[in-house]
Every structure is written in C-alpha cells, then in structure tokens.
Amino acid sequence: MSDITIRLIAPSGYPYDPAAMTRGVARLREAGCVVDGLDVLQRTEQRFSGTDAERVADINALATMGTLPDIALVTRGGYGASRLLPHLDYDALRERLADASTLLVGHSDFTALQLALYAKTGLYTFSGPLLADLGAESCSEFTWQHFWDTLTSPASTAAWPATTTNEIDVQGPLWGGNLAVLCSLLGTPYFPQIEGGILFVEDVGEPPFRIERWLYQLHLSGVLGRQRALVLGDFSHCQPSARDNGYDLAAAFAQIRAVAGIPVVGGMPHGHGEQQLTLPFSAPARLRVAGGRAQLDFSGYPHLNRPAPASAVENP
C-alpha cells in the first residue's frame, strides 16, 4: 500500500460516463491509493457537477478540512469553473495550502481554476489527467506513469519529436492549459501576469480559425510576446470545413509562427488526446529543441515524498 490519499473534486461537468469514474477510482485503489470524496460523482445540476455552491465548497473545503489529502483530483472537464472564480476563498486557501503538499491535478476546464489560483494566491497546481482520463477504457500507460513520476519527484521531464528545425534553449516558468479556457479569462483579474514563461496550450474539437483567433488574442494582448516560447500540445479533432478552402491547422500555426515573435514548438503529447503529461503550473522549466527532439525539464514544485505506486495501469 502506498497509502497516498486522493480526494475527488468536481468543479465542472457532471459525470456523463459514470463507468469511467468507477474504473478510475478502482485503478487508483488497486494501486494502493485511498480515494475519498466519491459523493461528488453523484451530483448533477443541469450540465454541471452540482450547484455552484457545492462545486465551490469542494475547493474551499481544502482550506478548512482537518487532514489534507495528498492529491485533490478533478473528476472531469466540461464547463462551469468560471462561475466559481468570484466565490473561492483565496486568502484561506493560500494560508492553508502554501506550505502543504496537497497537489491539485486536472486539465481542460480546470485550467480556469489553475489560472485563478495562481493569479490570486501563487499556489502550484498541476495540468494532468482527470479521473475520467485515468478511468478511460484504455488508460495510457504513458499518462499513468508520467502522473506518478511528476507527483512523486522533485523534478521531471518530457520529450517528444520536435516540429521545428530551429535550435532552442530557453528557461522560464511553465504555464498554460486549455486554449479556449485560458483565453476566456483574458481581461479578467483571474488571468495571471507571467513574464518570460514557457506557455503551453492545447484544445479539442475546434475548427482551425478559432484556434488562430485565440492565439491571436494572446498575441494582440501582448501575452505571447512576453513569453520565452509557445508550446503547442494536442489539437485533437480540429479539422477544417469544406468552406475553409485549404486553410487548416497547419496554416493557422504558420500564421502564428510568423507573428508571435517567440519560438513556437509543436507536438507536445498533452491535451485531450490519449496521452497526457503532468505539468506543474508555474514551476521553473527549461525547454530545449535540437536535432529534431524537444525536451522539457521542470523542477522546484511541491511533490509527494512517497514512492509512486508500484502497479501500472491495469483493467481492474
């Protein structure tokens, strides 16, 4: 038994695929984790995983509960975190969590909470798999392994075939997330002011013109120009339509490369595809690209001083 404790939190959509949730919980328990907070899986309010008050309480409870979990794991994405941002108890969360090692992990709509928590408290969070991902019918061994590697080590790394031939070696805080959600906070007090960073973005099911429009918003707002590099993760199911007349995702990215004024590195295995990395939001990072290979190293983030669960992904 690793005895790692995991508490589920559900800030966004209700679990429309309960079987994935059940599988996710079973896999984590099989690996020796203690999983609680399962009541959130029963909550449904319209398309949300509970009322706004219930979903806010999941997060604010981390400031007041007796014993903190090792990991607070987000059940799934969707939409709904934006509604919660004015109601989080940022001061209490900072006070309680700043020196704790509770690791908040999720992605997709969770990006909104990551941005807001960082902007308002400076707290670390992790862009990584959701319970729905860990419970996917075929959960990727890569995703599972990177999740535990990052969360149980003071430093971690990711490497992938690079889509640029330029040599790059930059350092800065690592941040980013879902592109649509990230841009939905631009102009609000929940969008963090991060300079000299390594910004990663990903999205799913969006036509190329929307991807470009969001990247343009980051460009026109000056956010892109203040970073050391832009890293493109997965853009799954982002197909052009017949009327796009040959304009596709490659054309959108070519335009962004032409105007961004910073290196743009594609192909990071992270997003809504099968593979996900677990990336600490705001941790110091170094990105190197050479010889057709990209390597991202990061360290200095809070982690669990426990061995990773021995067992790998298995169908329970």
Query: What is the per-residue binding string for a second copy in 250-279, x denoting contact by CB under 8 A?
Result: -x---x------------------------
- Work out whether 237 is an interface residue with a second copy (CB under 8 A): no
- Work out whether 83 is an interface residue with a second copy (CB under 8 A): yes
Site for a second copy (CB under 8 A): which residue of 22, 153, 217, 299? 217
Site for a second copy (CB under 8 A): which residue of 43, 94, 96, 213? 213
Rounded least distance, CB 91 to a second copy, Å? 19
d(CA 237, CA 178): 14
Site for a second copy (CB under 8 A): which residue of 54, 89, 149, 244? 244
Question: Is 95 a catalytic site residue?
Answer: no
Question: Is 202 a catalytic site residue?
Answer: yes
Place of tokens 């956010």: 223
* Alpha-helical segments (H) within the chain: 18-30, 52-60, 90-97, 111-121, 131-134, 141-151, 179-183, 208-220, 249-260
d(CA 27, CA 24): 5
Place of tokens 């000299």: 196
d(CA 22, CA 27): 9
- Work out whether 223 is an interface residue with a second copy (CB under 8 A): yes
d(CA 181, CA 141): 27
- Work out whether 136 is an interface residue with a second copy (CB under 8 A): no
Closest-CA residue to 232 (of 285, 283, 271): 271
- Work out whether 82 is an interface residue with a second copy (CB under 8 A): yes
Rounded least distance, CB 89 to a second copy, Å? 17
CB contact at 8 A, 105 and 28: no
φ/ψ (deg, to 5) at 6: -125, 130
Closest-CA residue to 19 (of 147, 148, 134): 134
CB contact at 8 A, 81 and 115: no
Nearer to a second copy, 241 or 305 (CB): 241
- Work out whether 114 is an interface residue with a second copy (CB under 8 A): no
- Work out whether 118 is an interface residue with a second copy (CB under 8 A): no
- Work out whether 68 is an interface residue with a second copy (CB under 8 A): no
Question: Is 107 a catalytic site residue?
Answer: no
- Among positions 3-32, residues that touch a second copy (CB under 8 A) are 13-14, 16
Q: Which residues bind a second copy (CB under 8 A)?
A: 13-14, 16, 44, 46-48, 78-79, 82-83, 85-86, 183-191, 209-210, 212-214, 216-217, 220-223, 240, 243-247, 251, 255
Give the residue numbers annotated as catalytic, written as ranges.
Answer: 108, 202, 272
